[in-house]
Amino acid sequence: MGTIEVLLSSYNGEAYIEEQLNSLSSQTHVDWSVRFRDDGSSDGTMRIIEDWRRQAAGRITGGKGANVGVIPSFFELIRQADEGNDCFCFCDQDDVWLPEKMERAAQRLADIPADVPAMVFSPTQLVDAQLKPLGQWPDAPRRQPSFYNALYQNVAVGATVTFNRAALLLIRERMPDSGKVLMHDWWFYLCVSAFGEVIYDPRPSILYRQHGGNVVGGETSPIGKLKKKWAGFRKHRGTHKLVAQAREFHRLYAEQMTDSEKLAQLESFIAPRPRLTQRLNYLSRSKLYRQSRTENLLFRFLILIGYI
């Protein structure tokens, strides 16, 4: 099934990173390596990584860098990744991978032609700080993951994402301004759905630890989900980060897009809509969607009133 390189970004993760590293050692897929970048930790994270490096028989490379934040840190790992590998996984410091995570993802990607950018993602098993189960998150996509969804919404939890060499090269050949990217996993979902294959595996592949310090956390209760969605809408307001991300994608990839309908939907989304008639016209022609009917209605309402 080929070689897999794990791309791990760490930051002040001494409380949990050893469990994550040990879960890599327990994988049923054996041909893997780790490339890590520490984002300027001030705790004992590097000591734990170095201890594990000595036990890992040459499997791990990387070092400590300046504190630049999670998105630039993962994009730096993309720049450094060894394209001689067949597949690549994003890895957070505080999760625990289920033993067959790599093997299952590699099997799914093996069915895709090598020159087609592809990624596979799954839901997570939410757990508390002591790994007690809390429920599965997020819900399964109700509609097919696609470019028309990716412009509006990210459904791919980065810590579950595995992608092939063609996807790595697609991103690396046109690296974005990370300040215009909402999250590294969202950028991969957007780019791969535009030019390749996005695969959903319905079985959880990681234990996704909830401990109060997550950059992105999960939610299982109906009220919690609603609050999280509304916070996301508010976060993306203003110059509107969704539109800014789509414009960055257009800047980098528009000339490569051979699917005229995808290009037309992208350009319609990023076009200014100052007047109500323009917003009504946009909504009548848009194929973009979020995964739930309620979110779709809310999103269309926000566009209608000029919030987006």
Q: What is the residue-level pLDDT of the chain in tens, covering all 308 positions?
A: 799 999 999 999 999 999 999 999 999 999 999 999 999 999 999 999 999 999 988 899 999 999 999 999 999 999 999 999 999 999 999 999 999 999 999 999 999 999 999 999 999 999 998 999 999 999 999 999 999 999 999 999 999 999 999 999 999 999 999 999 999 999 999 999 999 999 999 999 999 999 765 555 555 555 555 555 555 555 544 448 999 999 999 999 999 999 999 999 999 999 999 999 999 999 999 999 999 999 999 999 999 999 88
For the chain, domain boundaries: 4-218, 223-304
Strands (E), 144-234: 162-164, 197-200, 206-209
Longest dimension (CA), the chain: 64
Gap between the Cα atoms of 194 and 262, Å rounded: 8
> Which of 128, 163, 127 lies closest to 2 in space, CA to CA?
163
pLDDT score for 235: 53
- Whole-angstrom CA distances from 86 to 31, 153, 163 are 10, 28, 9
pLDDT score for 56: 87
Name the fold adopted by 4-218. Answer: Spore Coat Polysaccharide Biosynthesis Protein SpsA; Chain A (3.90.550)
pLDDT score for 212: 66
pLDDT score for 266: 98
Cis? peptide before 138, omega within 30° of 0 = yes
Partnered with residue 96 across adjacent β-strands are 207
pLDDT score for 229: 56
Gap between the Cα atoms of 195 and 255, Å rounded: 12
pLDDT score for 234: 56
pLDDT score for 238: 43
